[in-house]
Amino acid sequence: MEFRQLDYFVAVVETGSISAASRRVHVAQPALTRQMRLLEDDLDTRLFDRHARGIRLTVAGRALYEEAIQLLDARAQIKARLAALGSGQVGKLCLGITVTHLWVPDVARLMGGYRQCYPGVAFEVFPLLSGPQLERLREGSLDAGILYLDSAEQPGLETRLLQHDHLMLAVPEASPWSAAPPASLDELKEADFVWGFRSASPVYYDRMLAHFERLSFSPRVVQYGADNITILSMVAAGLGIAIVPSASSAHPMPGIRFVHLPELEACDMPLWMAWRASNDSPALHNLVGLVEEVFGDGGVSSPGQAG
């Protein structure tokens, strides 16, 4: 049983004769006769009685006709679906992103634009810190991630620079620090700091600490928070002050005052998009294309390399 035979068979049934079907499918009548016989042989069943006026379906023929219609329809649908999938109009896309950057205008523009351009794609966004994102990118449960990386070169991954963050100081609005903002880190030697865990985002943490080491600054930590949102809420509650990525100031937070310090702005925190190099998902490639549009061509794309 082949699709061609089913095509012919449906034509024969619907025209009521092999000759008429041969005109419809543009194939000589004996060829059709032969294909119908082959189909009958294959199914080991008579599909129709031949008469001088045409053919008449047997019970088996009627049954096959119903099924054939469905099979041919299924084939057409599969072809259509694969075409949509191949162009990225349909499919699934899992994007990881740090909570901190959900509110950055360009990132929001990227996500909104993608959903608008490709409404057929099931677009799922996972709020994850850089460390977990990297893991899940490698294991394949994320298609792309927006995260901090220690380098553009990531084995098995491709990367693209989105923007450069730096660091800022976040102080409670109700505190003396808000009334008289510090001008330098030196003034913060005795301050109470809310701090993050290294494991949440090792790259960010190490980079920041290396920077402070160069400045010979070591904060007095009184409290730890799991992510920047948590840390900022603690700052707002007056538990202390914190050093956070500049992206955190993208949307105003009640009770928080952000303070720029030259020493903190000097700490470069590049934000990357990364995806598995072997990921051929057209939906992903469309996302990468949209990144070029939203973030411009300033970024660098690097082919991932093993080792």
Partner DNA sequence: GGCTTTCCATACATAAAAGGTATGGCTTGC
Partner DNA sequence: GCAAGCCATACCTTTTATGTATGGAAAGCC
User: Which residues of this protein are in contact with DNA, per CB under 7 A?
Assistant: 2, 4, 17-20, 26-31, 33-38, 50-55
Stretch that binds a copy of itself, among 128-136, 166-174, 181-189, 281-289 (CB under 8 A): 281-289
Query: Residue 34 or 81: which CB sits closer to a copy of itself?
Result: 81
Stretch of residues binding a copy of itself (CB under 8 A), selected from 29-37, 62-70, 186-194, 256-264: 62-70
Which residue from 28, 31, 78, 183 is in contact with a copy of itself, where contact means CB under 8 A? 78
* Residue 303 in contact with a copy of itself, rule: CB under 8 A: no
Decide: is 81 part of the binding site for a copy of itself (CB under 8 A): yes
CA nearest to 258, candidates 138, 188, 177: 177
Q: Considering only residues 1-30, where is the footprint of a copy of itself by CB under 8 A?
A: 1-4
Assess 83 for contact with a copy of itself (CB under 8 A).
yes
Q: Please give the Cα distance from 237 to 190 (Å, whole number).
A: 19
Examine residue 58 and tell whether it contacts a copy of itself (CB under 8 A). Answer: yes
208 and 167 Cβ atoms separated by less than 8 Å: yes
In whole angstroms, give the CA distance from residue 247 to residue 54.
Answer: 77
Where does this chain touch a copy of itself (CB under 8 A) — which range of 81-89, 120-128, 148-156, 240-248? 81-89
Identify the CA nearest to 43 among candidates 1, 79, 4, 80. 1
Q: Provide the strand spans (E) within 42-189.
A: 48-51, 54-57, 91-97, 121-127, 144-148, 157-165, 167-172
Binding of residue 86 to a copy of itself (CB under 8 A): yes
DSSP string, 197-263: -TTT-HHHHHHHHHHHHHHT---EEEEEESSHHHHHHHHHTTS-BEEEEGGGGGS--TTEEEE--HH
Q: Residue 95 binds which entry of a copy of itself, DNA, none, with Cβ cut-offs from 5 to 8 Å by kind?
A: none
| Among DNA, a copy of itself, none, partner that 225 touches (CB below 5 to 8 angstroms by kind) | none
C-alpha 228/C-alpha 133 separation (Å) is: 16
**Among DNA, a copy of itself, none, what does residue 52 contact (CB within 5–8 Å per kind)?**
DNA
Task: Give the whole-angstrom CA distance, residue 263 versus residue 266.
Answer: 5
Residue holding tokens 């084939």? 75
Tokens of 15: 């025209």
Classify the phi-psi angles of 122: left when phi > 0, otherwise alpha if psi is within -120 to 50, otherwise beta: beta
Would you count residue 268 as binding a copy of itself (CB under 8 A)? no
Q: Which of 20, 38, 43, 102 binds a copy of itself (CB under 8 A)?
A: 43
Q: Which residues bind a copy of itself (CB under 8 A)?
A: 1-4, 43-46, 49, 56, 58-60, 63-64, 67, 70-71, 74-75, 78-79, 81-83, 85-86, 91, 278, 280-283
